[in-house]
A and B are shown apart, each in its own frame.
Chain A
Amino acid sequence: MAKKINVFLFFIVVLGFPMAYFVMPKADKSNSEKRKLATFPSFNSEAYLAGTWTKQVDEYIDDHFPFRTNFISSTDYFHAAKGFQLKHSERVVVLPKKQPKLQVESGDSTKNQMAFLDEFEEKYAGSMLIIDGCVYPMGGGSPAMSKYFAEMVNEYARTFNGVRVFSAVAPLSSAFIPVEKYAHYNSQNKRTLLAIKNNLKDGAIFCDVFGELNEHSNTKLYFGTDHHWKPLGAYYGYVAFCKAAGLEAVPLDKMNKKVKYNFLGTMYQHTQDPTVRAHPDTMEYWVPKVQTEAVKFGPYNTDKPSKTKVFYESSSGGNTYSTFLGGDEPLIRIQTGIKNGKKAVVIKNSMGNAFAVYLVNHYQEIWVVDLRYSKQNLTKIIKENNINDIVFAVGMYAAMSKGTIGMMRRLTTQSGIYVPPTNPEVQEPNVESTPHVDSTDME
């Protein structure tokens, strides 16, 4: 009898899950992983012979397995049961090298392909240090690489004579690991960023973001579960910029403070570490008391803008960092109630999102350009809008990668169509929907 039960139970499991697939509702995206789920591939003999069709079927089954989300979250219990974590123990996890998904969503193809060009992505496929549930990259950049970034900034300064060009590169969170033996990452970050300063010329202006953050290193400036800086870290980056630009930074208490809880960001998604999960981030952020109107454009042209917002209050969970500008859009124009005629361009990766929102305190118009996704000709934008200041607000890895430096350089020459968006037919998006954040976008 026991033998029959053994066989029947086995059959119930191997037949039960496929049957559950047919009766359960289907999802097309995973909010926790911040990505779209695979769709079932249409069959063609070429794809089959190349072995890609079967791989896509595997991906589809993996992505749509019944109770998938529950299974993924339950995995933590298995990993926790393997042993025990010492208090204040340090742990190193190795993130596997990413493999691009075979299935590329048509609307996001540009983003995916661009993101994979970023050497930063490859560098993130390495060792991560986990201390007390906070994840830190191990490293602090390379002073030798800094000159390539500085040369690119100098080119902007030479090309756009009369426009002030600022370098505001954010250090890595490794600079502020609260353990003495990792102090060398602090000095390594410092040396890397100072090397940018030493190589800037032609009027390009250095913002001492590291120095400003370092003065406040006793507070938590970076997320523990995400690779971005916290809004407070971005604020000190903004203070450093103001000092370099001769502006007076708006004090935090002159802005509206808000809080979001239970943020498990990219570092958790990639490490899946139970101790990280046990320490979700709380995000305090500050909304300037300035009236703003923002529109976003597609990667290739500016003739079909749609409304967007500087702050997406509805972003939550894994998308909490998308509170700022709704995540990474190729190009955003923000117009403010500050009628001083000043205009700025912020060239950024996602690190710059939390930074750019503070600039609404000082400029009438701000163009936020994503260095990876915008295909528009930045030269035309700068000249036709009489831009006063250009700010490079990027995380350090973007400044360390020849791939991303090349992208920033190409912004001025690429051939996207610029149409002055003076009277746009604004398309109203569903602003309460969760903004899409590309899972491959790590910075």
Chain B
Amino acid sequence: MVFSSLTFLYLFLPLSLLFHYSTKNDLFRNIFLTIFSLVFYAWAEPMWIFLMVFTALFDYSTGLYIEKKRGTPWAKVGLIASIVVNIGLLVAYKYGGFIYDNLNYWFPLPFDRPQNSLPVGISFYTFMVISYVVDIYRGEIKAQRNPLNFLMFISLFQHLVAGPIVRYSQISEQVEKRSIDWSRLSDGVTRFCVGLFKKVAIANVAGVLVDKYLDTQLYALSSYEGWFGIVMFSIQLYFDFSGYSDMAIGLAKLFGFDFHENFKHPYAAISVGDFYRRWHISLGRFFRDYVYIPLGGNRKYQDRNILIVWFLTGFWHGANWNFALWGTYFGVLMVLEKHLKFILDKTPRFLKHGYTLVLIVFSRAIFYFVDFNQLSYFVGNLFYSKHAVNPGFLSDITTHVFWFILVIVLCIPWDEIYAQDHPFRNRIAMRYAYVRPVANAFLLVISTMLLVNATFNPFLYTRF
């Protein structure tokens, strides 16, 4: 099930809220939430639910074991066993076909290619359980005693299929007991409505143009249209994933959880490094804490560490070489930025912003095209194309011009410009306090209207 579906919005969500708030007993609330989360997961993938439940129960047990054996070599054995099993499952189910293809290319294999589909959310919940057992091993958190609570933590429908990668330490208290207050509920409503609108009215609209320019008309594109296509894909990717994250954070608040932010206006970044401190923050922090720092961080072999982390980050996104190339591209850029810091420090802010945007938008091409022939053809066309502009290009721009303005407005980091206690922000919040409920309801109804007339539109990041 996806958040941006009528089934979720008007069947699943009201029912889950009604059940959750029908009792004040935390145990019953957790039981209801777990059942609803499993139904949510099984809606699209009934079979893969067993893998997810196995992972949860396995790491619940491993966590207890590591905690019990802390200070002995057996704790490390437990940790390694957990990581091997979790990464093993991830590799088998996500990368099995990819590994087969590459091995089979050089050494024909005597068995058939694995045909399984990607278990939804496996990339996300695998990292969640790894962070859980590592944090226990490090003594940073206590293991969860109640298997139901742990299963609920892993399977929470708010984050299950596409993150954010929630650390147990962030919500350990809320897993046990959640206080409900109007402020959190209201914030949740706002985040959810804004996220839904971002997905349905921005990402899906951009998606139509992406399909047109990067798919249907790929082999007849002028350079202008090529750039237009990847700018649209950049918009689609950001609003799709940040919209999803907003909805996840908002839904979490509706049920009494506080997830950390996953995006902070990434297109306002002034360097590539800055961009990835603003984009998919929970993934970046996972790699920082569980790969980069253990490798030595910035204390030794920093360049190597950066390249390894970004190669892995690329591969995390998908079982294809283009994702590895995409990750390596950013790894190299990060290393270059580190060594050229003395130049960047003297560069005017608008130039830094411009160079970052160009590099980010260009990277979307590597991200989009899993076929290297298409990628090389497209990149070549970006700089020189023998094709004239197709009919309708000008019309696509004029018929979206107000929408482009809205996109730009939504990319501007208003909450950084007007920080928490800025007088202007306070004044607006006071004066327009009663506008927000109406605006949220309006966004919800507009989004519903667009969903009624839409085909199935899954979130892009659920495929990772």
A-side residues, CB < 8 A to B, are 2-15, 17-18, 48-49, 51, 54, 57-58, 61-62, 65, 68, 71-72, 74-75, 78-79, 81-86, 89-94, 96, 99, 126-127, 129-130, 272
Contact B436 A49, beta carbon cutoff 8 Å: no
Which chain A residues border B436 with CB–CB below 8 Å?
2, 6
Interchain CB contact under 8 A, B5 and A86: no
Q: Which 8 A-B pairs have the closest CB atoms?
A: A92-B392, A3-B186, A82-B403, A2-B433, A6-B437, A91-B395, A71-B452, A83-B399
Complex-state Cα separation, A51 to B444, whole angstroms:
28
Q: Contact: A126 with B216, CB < 8 Å?
A: yes
Q: CB distance A58 to B7 under 8 Å?
A: yes
Q: B45 CB to closest chain A CB, in angstroms? A: 7
* Distance in Å: Cβ of B76 to nearest Cβ of chain A: 40
Q: Are B7 and A91 in contact (CB under 8 A)?
A: no
Chain B residues with CB below 8 A from A61, complex form: 6-7, 10-11
The answer to whether B449 and A71 touch across the interface, beta carbons within 8 angstroms, is yes
Distance in angstroms from A344 CB to nearest chain B CB is 41
Instruction: Report the minimal beta-carbon distance from B122 to chain A, rounded to whole angstroms.
Output: 17
Q: Is the CB of A91 within 8 A of B46?
A: no
* Given A6-B436, A83-B401; A65-B6 close (CB under 8 Å): yes
A-B CB contact pairs (8 Å), 8 listed: A3-B183, A3-B186, A4-B186, A5-B437, A10-B189, A51-B44, A86-B398, A129-B391
- Contact, CB under 8 Å: A94 / B212: yes
Nearest A residue to B44, CB-CB: A51
Please determine whether B437 and A81 come into contact, CB atoms closer than 8 angstroms: no
Question: Could you say which of A15, A78, A127 contacts B450, with CB atoms under 8 Å apart?
Answer: A78
Contacts of B197-218 to chain A: CB distance below 8 A: 201, 205, 208, 211-212, 216-217
Question: Taking the complex as formed, is B409 at the interface, i.e. its CB lies under 8 A from any CB of chain A?
Answer: no
- A4 proximity list for chain B (CB < 8 A): 182, 186
Interface string of B442-464 (1 = CB under 8 A from A): 00111011101101100000000
Given contact pairs A7-B189, A92-B390, A94-B211, A49 touches B440 in the complex (Cβ within 8 A): no
B403–A90 CB distance below 8 A: no
- Identity of the chain A residue whose Cβ is nearest the Cβ of B430 in the assembled complex: A2
Contact flags B386-404 to A (C-beta < 8 A → 1, else 0): 0000111011111111111
Interface centre among B397, B399, B402, B403 (most CB of A within 10 A): B399
Q: Are A83 and B450 in contact (CB under 8 A)?
A: no
Q: Report B-chain residues with C-beta under 8 Å of the C-beta of A3.
A: 182-183, 185-186
Question: Which residues on the A side are within 8 Å of B437 (C-beta)?
Answer: 2, 5-6, 8-10
CB distance from B272 to the nearest CB of A (A): 31
Which residues on the B side are within 8 Å of A58 (C-beta)? 5-7, 456
Residues of A within 8 A of B396 (CB): 91-92
Is A129 touching B185 in the complex (CB atoms < 8 A)?
Answer: no
- Contacts A6-B437, A7-B189, A84-B399 aside, 11 further interface pairs with beta carbons under 8 A come to A4-B182, A5-B437, A49-B47, A62-B452, A71-B452, A72-B453, A83-B398, A84-B398, A93-B392, A94-B212, A94-B217
Q: Are A6 and B186 in contact (CB under 8 A)?
A: yes
**Is B301 interfacial (CB-CB < 8 Å)?**
no
Q: Does B14 interact with chain A (Cβ within 8 Å)? A: yes
Query: In the complex the two chains form, is A89's CB within 8 Å of B394's CB?
Result: yes
Contact with A along B185-201 (1 / 0, CB 8 A): 11001101100000001
On chain B, which size bracket covers the interface?
35 or more
Residue of A nearest to B432 (CB): A2
Across the interface, do A127 and B216 meet the contact criterion of CB distance under 8 Å?
A: yes
CB distance from B269 to the nearest CB of A (A): 27
Contacts of B190 in A (CB 8 A): 6
Give bound CA distance, A94 to B390, whole Å: 13
Evaluate contact between A89 and B398: CB separation under 8 angstroms: yes
Q: A13-B444, A92-B391 are in contact. Are A65 and B398 (CB under 8 A)?
A: no
Across the interface, which residues of B come within 8 angstroms of A79, CB to CB?
399
Report the Cα distance A252→B13, complex, angstroms: 61
A92 touches B449 (CB 8 A): no
A10 to B247, CA, bound (A): 14
Which of A7, A96, A127 touches B185 (beta carbons < 8 Å)? A7
- Report the minimal beta-carbon distance from A116 to chain B, rounded to whole angstroms: 17
Q: Are A83 and B449 in contact (CB under 8 A)?
A: no
**With A and B bound together, what is the CA distance between A261 and B398 in angstroms?**
31
Q: Is the CB of A90 within 8 A of B395?
A: yes
Alpha-carbon gap, A86 to B392, bound state (A): 11
- Chain A residue at smallest Cβ distance from B444: A13
Which A residue sits closest to B205, measured CB to CB? A82
Report B195 CB to chain A, min CB distance, Å.
13
Q: Is A14 touching B399 in the complex (CB atoms < 8 A)? A: no
B45 partner residues in chain A, CB cutoff 8 A:
51
The reply to whether the CB of B438 lies closer than 8 angstroms to some CB of chain A is: yes
Residues of B within 8 A of A86 (CB): 394-395, 398
Q: Are A68 and B183 in contact (CB under 8 A)?
A: no
Chain A residues within an 8 Å CB radius of B9: 14
Shortest C-beta distance, B334 to chain A (Å), equals 37
Give the residues in chain B near A72, CB-CB below 8 Å: 452-453
* Nearest chain B CB to A101 CB, angstrom units: 11
List the B side residues contacting A9 at CB < 8 Å: 437-438, 440-441
Contact A84 B449 (CB under 8 A): no
Q: How far is the CB of A135 from chain B (nearest CB, A)?
A: 12
Which B-chain residue is minimally distant from A45 (CB atoms)? B46
B189, B212, B391, B441, most chain A CB atoms within 10 A: B391
* CB within 8 Å for A92 and B398 given contacts A9-B441, A49-B46, A62-B6: no
Nearest B residue (CB) for A98:
B455
Q: Are A5 and B450 in contact, CB atoms less than 8 angstroms apart?
A: no
Assembly CA distance A5 to B47 (angstroms): 41
Q: Mark contacts of B159-196 with chain A using CB atoms, 8 A cut-off: 1 yes-contact digit, 0 otherwise.
A: 00000000000000000000000110110011011000
Question: Which chain A residue has the least Cβ–Cβ distance from B193?
Answer: A10
B217 to chain A, nearest CB (A): 7
Q: Is the CB of A83 within 8 A of B402?
A: yes
Rounded to whole Å, the gap between the CB of A421 and the closest CB of chain B is 43
